[in-house]
Amino acid sequence: MNKMTVQDWFLSGTMVAWFTYALGRFYIGAWIVRQGWIRTVEDRLSFAGALIIPLLIFGFGLEGTALLQDGPAGTWGASSSLLVEVMHAVATPLIAAGYVCGLMLLFFGRGTSWLVRPFAPVGQMALTNYLLQSPFIILTLGSFGPSLGLAGHAGSTTYTLFALGFFAAQIVFSHIWLQIFRYGPAEWVWRALTYGSWPALRRSMPQPV
């Protein structure tokens, strides 16, 4: 663990590279928001419908080609690692853009929006729910204290059932919490740190979510 953390991540510059990699995607998201595309997403459904198939076909095709080229040395599929990395780097945002188009159609399409409406409160508390999942994973897999110690002792079916059960509990929790409060606890702290003041947390009176 020490070798992986200190040498492979810090001294080699991998940590800086990953930070830059993630930060660049945050900037792309910020640019999209500032263009007003989020506020006018319902006016762009036909655009998303026209792009989703080409984006996914080209993205997955490029990614599949990269995987084939990443073969053992001496085989027909052997290739330079740089070429594989470039193909993967190009394929990833194309696939992500295809997913975004699919989510736009799912969330705002006339015949599909009802399918995702129950998940809206979970999205409003995305940071809180994400942070809650980490201790749940630790308590499920770990073998200390009150943890279940399932790591190495359970299969994928068991883990899937645990994950679905916990996420269902998070859906219920998010609905109840937002009936009483305006923000999730982590979102409330994040807004306070961002704007330098504590926003009102509790709703003046219960409102349906």
Is residue 178 pLDDT above 70, yes or no? yes
Rounded to an integer, the average pLDDT of 155-179 is: 93
pLDDT tens-digit readout, 49-107: 999 999 999 999 999 988 876 555 544 445 567 788 888 889 998 999 999 999 999 98
pLDDT tens-digit readout, 33-60: 898 888 888 888 999 999 999 999 999 9
Under 8 Å between Cβ of 122 and 175: no
Phi, psi of 50 (to 5 degrees): -75, -25
Rounded to an integer, the average pLDDT of 129-157 is: 85
State residue 169's pLDDT score. 96
Q: How far apart are the first and last CA of the chain?
A: 45
Rg (CA), the chain: 22
State residue 2's pLDDT score. 64
Distance, CA of 157 to chain centre? 22
For residues 184, 188, 194 and 196, what is the CA-based torsion angle, rounded to 10 degrees?
A: 170
With CA atoms as reference, report the closest residue to 125 among 60, 202, 57, 188. 188
Q: What is the mean pLDDT of the chain?
A: 85
Under 8 Å between Cβ of 186 and 179: no
CB neighbour list of residue 142: distance below 8 Å, 6 or more residues apart? 148, 149, 151
- Residues of the chain above pLDDT 90, percent: 44
Cα angle 75, 76, 82; round to 5: 85
Whole-structure pTM value: 0.62
| Side chain identity, residue 198 | W
Residue 52 tokens read as 């989703």
